[in-house]
Amino acid sequence: MSTLLELAQGLQHSGFGTALAESRYAFPLIEGTHLIGLSISVGLIFLIDLRLVGLFLRQVPAHTLLRSLLPIVLWGFALIFITGVLLFISEADTIIVSPAFPVKLVLLFLGGLNALYFEFKLSREPAFQSNTAAILPDKVRYSGFASLALWTLVIIAGRMLAYL
């Protein structure tokens, strides 16, 4: 852990990290942009997931909704990733020792695995592509429930970074 902590301290105390942390405008703008990216990507993911589990937009074919919103979700995730890295650099030695940080990383990994499984397996199955029913196959619904839970927990773990 000491090597990771040393790397984190090096990042935070670099000229760039110090400038981010001490800037009157940079940190709040980056944090605000991070929250906007979260709102866009996770908000749209929730809409998609609610459709997958059969609780929202039941009259819209799930594959149509997914293909319409996926590019915006990916742009939102790119924004989250970039701003998240910048936020990490500005507070690295505090974040790296927080018990919420490894939890968030594990949840991010699991959420990403679920998203990849859905995108590259479930969403490409003919039963999904041609399905216009309000209730989708169980595998798709379970993936939607898992996504709702995992991304909710990622956000909670991210907020806990500020308090633990």
pLDDT mean by block of 10 residues, the chain; 164 residues = 82 88 91 95 96 91 93 96 94 91 97 96 86 84 97 95 86
Amino acid 115: pLDDT: 96
User: What is the number of other CB atoms lying within 10 angstroms of the CB of residue 158?
Assistant: 20
Domain ranges of the chain: 2-160
Amino acid 13: pLDDT: 87
Q: Alpha carbon of 152 to those of 8, 32, 50, 96, 99: distances in Å?
A: 26, 19, 13, 21, 18
Owner of token pair 């915006």: 72
- CB 89 within 8 Å of CB 12: yes
| pTM for the structure as a whole | 0.88
Amino acid 1: pLDDT: 59
Amino acid 73: pLDDT: 96
